[in-house]
Amino acid sequence: MHQPPTKSEAHRRQRRVLQAVAAFEFFKGTFVVLMGMCALALVHRDVWLYAESLLALLHISTDRRSAQMFLDFADNVTDARLWAAARIAFAYALLRFTEAYGLWKARTWAEWVALVSGALLLPLEIRELMRGLTILRSSLFVGNLAVVLYMLYVIRANRRERRAATSMPS
């Protein structure tokens, strides 16, 4: 017969999941730092030439509509926009690294940060799903929804546990 998990086993399992979420948040922060560094590397450069070279490297014809949109976007990039993109990327990465640290250390404030930051992204992800279902969009939505629901579960479970501990007679 299967025994229900003890409280310490449940805590260990919860901690492992929180650490997995923390590792994912750290990965996202690292990726965004790299994107910010790429934006800074393009300052004072001809972004259109780099965009055209990237299309050639990927064997994408510049006759395609999406390629032309990409080149038009690259043509409108200014140094001020690159600096702004880098600042936003580094601020976002700082939030992700802070959240990752807090989740790794099982801090309550980090659970709230993960819940709120994840929940704020859900409407944007739903809008993207409305534009068209793809594996990537669907995976991002399902993954983010799972993290939000898990953080909600963790916060509620920890709150119940604290209430039970304070109501127990000494």
Euclidean distance between CA atoms 71 and 130, whole angstroms: 26
pLDDT digits (tens, 9 = 90+) for 83-103: 999 999 999 999 999 999 999
**Averaged pLDDT of the chain:** 92
Binning pLDDT at 50, 70 and 90, where does residue 1 land?
low
Tell me how far apart the terminal alpha carbons of the chain are, to the nearest angstrom: 34
| For range 141-145, the mean pLDDT | 94
- Residue 168, pLDDT > 80, answer no
Q: What is the pLDDT of residue 156?
A: 94
Buried b (16+ CB within 10 A) or exposed e, 104-143: bebeeebbebbbebbbebeeebeebeeeeeeeebeebbee
- Residue 155, pLDDT > 70, answer yes
Q: Where exactly are the structural domains of the chain?
A: 7-42+77-167
